[in-house]
Chain A
Amino acid sequence: MENDELVQNMLLELRRGVLSIAVLSQLSREEYGYSLLKALSDLGMEIDQSTLYPLLRRLESQGLLQSDWRIVDEARPRRYYVISPQGRAVLNKLKGEWSAMAETMKKMLS
């Protein structure tokens, strides 16, 4: 039981850093919250709504995302997010770091 909790906490920490990269990577096309959740989920990245929405907002306040309220296809107004130029630059850096890290981890864990 204790181990379960430990694993949960470590997973949470592990995901925290990865989620930002995942979100940034999927926002080259604009999405609203729920559609992004779906997109991530379809790719196998399950994420709580209560985690995703605050994260989107934080990334926007950091200047990595842009957003505005819009009505598309006569639906209700929704907030659409898209990556900003600065976000794209950051994402490219993170991508490089990520592949290096993934490579290293792969070597370590094999």
Chain B
Amino acid sequence: MSLIDRYVAEVGRHLPEKDRADIEAEIRSMLEDTLEERSERSRQNGTPVDEKIIIETLEELGDPRLLASRYAPAKRYLIGPGWYDVYIKTLQRVLFIVLPIFAAVTFMLTLAEDPLDFIDAVGEAVGSAFDVGLQIWFWMTLVFVFMERSDAIPNESLNPDTRAWTVAQLPELPRKRQISIAETVMNIATELFLMFWIALPVIRGGSDSVPFLHPDLWNFWLPLFFVIMGLTLVHEVFQLKIGNWTPALTITNVILSLISIIYIAALVLTQDVINPAFLAMLDSSLDTARLREVATWSIDISAAVIAGIYVWEIVHSIRMARQFNKQESEIPASMQKVS
């Protein structure tokens, strides 16, 4: 009977502890019934059941693991279909938000320690973002496995209450965005980096390196720069959120851009932007006066280019706002999202 013992034990191995003994006994009993019938010999006369019949019967019953799985109500997956979508979506969202922020912060902190080691900072940022990503992935999976296994948290997608559903629950069709998310995020990153770069000498506080910008600018112009940048950042966040050139967004954009243009023009026209000490430090064949001239020229041209970008930005947003307005008026009033 050793084949039967082995078969029953193999089924039992894949059964939950609680039902194991009972199911094992039942399978054994029904196997015996089958064998008895098939060998057409009574157990009482003691003849061992033919091995061939045992093999036949067991193979008919099939893979013990498969048989066990038919009994086992235990979940054979970590995260089932009810939670899978939520799991993937949450993971995506968290990773897409956390990792770039984490990489950027690590990058800046590493750079703050040693502004020249750009490659090291990039490596550090990528490496630590990878580590954090793995951590997030692991812990979030663990949380979802727990939710899958506990009944404490009701899973709506698993047990949809079809009667309660009404068309009111249908989400609106997503409106086409005019403002690209990637572009806006790039803008925000650039602005943050610019602010960081300008603030770097202050953050480091050391006197071992010579800042590029004139130290006197810190009295008024640079603080003002941070205020304008802060407002711009807030505006970018709203651009991300709203996604279209609505009247409010357009007007604030025009005002902010005008302020920026005026700021840049005033800065370049009235102030010495470049630190003379920085220029003196440069190893150049030009004499000091000529070097200053070249530096001032390049600053003026950069300022003109930036101002030009802002002008284009104003024109672009107004044009887009017109387009958006036209689109809106084409949508019947009843279909417009009330928000």
Say yes or no: B29 contacts A49, CB within 8 Å: no
Say yes or no: B67 contacts A54, CB within 8 Å: yes
- Cβ contact of B26, chosen from A48, A61, A79, cutoff 8 A: A79
Task: With CB as the reference atom, state the residue of chain A lying closest to B27.
Answer: A53
User: In this complex, which of B25, B26, B34, B73 has the most chain A Cβ atoms within 10 angstroms of its Cβ?
Assistant: B26
Say yes or no: B67 contacts A34, CB within 8 Å: no
Q: State whether A57 and B37 are in contact (beta carbons under 8 Å apart), knowing that A33-B26, A49-B60, A50-B61 are contacts in the complex.
A: no
Dominant secondary structure at the A interface: helix
B30 in the interface (beta carbon within 8 A): yes
Instruction: Bin chain A's interface residue count.
Output: 10 to 19
A76 to B67: give the CA distance in the assembly, Å: 23
Task: With CB as the reference atom, state the residue of chain B lying closest to A61.
Answer: B73
Say yes or no: A54 contacts B71, CB within 8 Å: yes
Within 8 A of B (CB), among A26-75: 32-35, 48-51, 53-54, 57, 61, 69
Say yes or no: A54 contacts B70, CB within 8 Å: yes
B283 in the interface (beta carbon within 8 A): no
A85 in the interface (beta carbon within 8 A): no
Dominant secondary structure at the B interface: helix
A67 to B142: give the CA distance in the assembly, Å: 39
Please name all residues of chain A whose beta carbon is closer than 8 Å to the beta carbon of B30 when the two chains form the complex.
32-34, 49, 53
A61 to B66: give the CA distance in the assembly, Å: 20
Say yes or no: A50 contacts B70, CB within 8 Å: yes
Least CB distance from A63 to B in Å reads 15
Say yes or no: A78 contacts B70, CB within 8 Å: no
Say yes or no: B34 contacts A57, CB within 8 Å: no
Say yes or no: B67 contacts A78, CB within 8 Å: no
A35 to B37: give the CA distance in the assembly, Å: 11
Say yes or no: B67 contacts A57, CB within 8 Å: no
Please name all residues of chain B whose beta carbon is closer than 8 Å to the beta carbon of A50 when the two chains form the complex.
61-62, 66-67, 70
Least CB distance from B166 to A in Å reads 28
A53 to B34: give the CA distance in the assembly, Å: 13
Least CB distance from B180 to A in Å reads 47
Say yes or no: B61 contacts A57, CB within 8 Å: no
Say yes or no: A49 contacts B61, CB within 8 Å: yes
Say yes or no: A34 contacts B34, CB within 8 Å: yes
Q: State whether A79 and B29 are in contact (beta carbons under 8 Å apart), knowing that A49-B34, A49-B60 are contacts in the complex.
A: yes
Say yes or no: A57 contacts B33, CB within 8 Å: no
Least CB distance from A16 to B in Å reads 12
- Cβ contact of B71, chosen from A49, A57, A78, cutoff 8 A: A57
B32 in the interface (beta carbon within 8 A): yes
Least CB distance from A24 to B in Å reads 18
Can you spell out 13 A-B residue pairs with CB atoms less than 8 angstroms apart? A32-B33, A33-B26, A33-B33, A48-B60, A49-B30, A49-B60, A50-B67, A53-B27, A54-B71, A57-B71, A61-B73, A76-B32, A78-B33
